[in-house]
Amino acid sequence: MSTIRITWRGDAATVHAADNALSEVLDPPADAVSLLKEDSSEADSDTPWTLHAYFEHDPDADAVTEAFAAFGLNIGPGEREVLEDRDWVAHALEGLGIVEAGPFVVYGRHDADKAAALPGHHIQIEANRAFGTGHHPTTAGCLEMLAEVETAAPSRILDLGTGSALLAIAARRLWPHATVLGTDIDEPSVAIGEENAELNGAQGITFRVADGVDESVRREGPFDLVMANILAEPLVDLAPDVAAVTAPGGRILLAGLLDRQEAAVIEAYAAEGFAVTLRGGNVWPILLLERHAERGTLSRM
């Protein structure tokens, strides 16, 4: 069966936003996406990047345009080519290397031997349609930020939009006695998260299909730490619901937004009594916020 590859080129911010659009917004999403840069410059530089997206079937051009528009992108239809009969999706995924972020070493099966020689918390994540292999700046930034708050151990953690469950597993590594709930609106992602948790021996993580902060999530709160590496618009929309399940003095880790969207996200959570205590990233901000203890929240049921 042939594979369709569509290629776009641009600076880091553009191609990483396009990656998110094709992986998270486009329905159905790309089967695989790979990012290449021309030299070793930092990910937030103006170094030319190439984005390859692989599809088993031709994506709807209007759907791709709408997905890009969600990120304010107008980068055209890309360069389309039909590739020879080969498992190009597997080829693209295996090209992903080891990620070292904070105390974490994230790798795929093909890099297991190399990863074994590196110090840190080892997490094996196989690339697939569930977002979160650690290669995107938002995911790597969240892993680094978790290490910054390692000493303040939470007892109840929510990973909202868990995807591959990488952040849930990482939190469990740092806080082995914490109770972790990973939720996602996408049922296949939840199944993948469960598989990854089992693969990594991460006990104590519960997974659930949930549309945002629904009643099933509320029953598990309040949480001392809420992690949400999703998109700016749902982050803003979910601010009151996230506040409702965050304990007084609790923290939230937010990512998936671009720098131009940062002010709106901070404003939405400031209205709910949160203030930024740490910020990471550049083009892709990573925000750690803390809730003022005097603000009300739900009680455990």
Q: Report yes or no: 53 and 23 within 8 Å, Cβ to Cβ.
A: no
How does pLDDT run across 147-176, given as a tens digit for each residue?
887 667 899 999 999 988 999 999 999 999
Does residue 94 register a pLDDT over 70?
Answer: no
Long-range contacts of 55-64 (CB under 8 A, 24+ apart): 55/3, 55/4, 55/5, 55/6, 55/30, 55/31, 56/1, 56/3, 56/4, 56/31, 56/89, 57/4, 58/4, 59/4, 59/6, 59/26, 59/28, 59/30, 63/26, 63/27, 64/21, 64/22, 64/26
Confirm if 166 and 144 have CB atoms less than 8 A apart.
Answer: no
Q: Are 131 and 158 in contact (CB under 8 A)?
A: no
Single-letter amino acid, residue 131: F
Q: Are 235 and 228 in contact (CB under 8 A)?
A: yes
Consult the annotation and say whether 184 binds a ligand. yes
pLDDT band at 130 (very low <50, low <70, confident <90, very high): very low
**Architecture per CATH, 131-291:** 3-Layer(aba) Sandwich (3.40)
Give domain limits for the chain: 3-94, 131-291
Instruction: Give 186-221 pLDDT, tens digit per residue.
Output: 888 899 899 999 999 998 899 999 999 999 999 999
By DSSP bridging, strand 3-10 and strand 32-37 are unpaired
Q: Check the annotation: does 139 bind a ligand.
A: yes
Residue 161 known to bind ligand: yes
Q: Which CATH architecture has domain 3-94?
A: 2-Layer Sandwich (3.30)
Cα 299 to Cα 149: distance, rounded to the nearest angstrom:
24
Fold identical between 3-94 and 131-291?
no
Mean pLDDT of 34-47: 56
Does 229 count as an annotated binding residue?
yes
Structure tokens at 126: 């196989």
Q: Which of 36-50, 122-136, 185-199, 275-289 has the lowest mean pLDDT?
A: 36-50
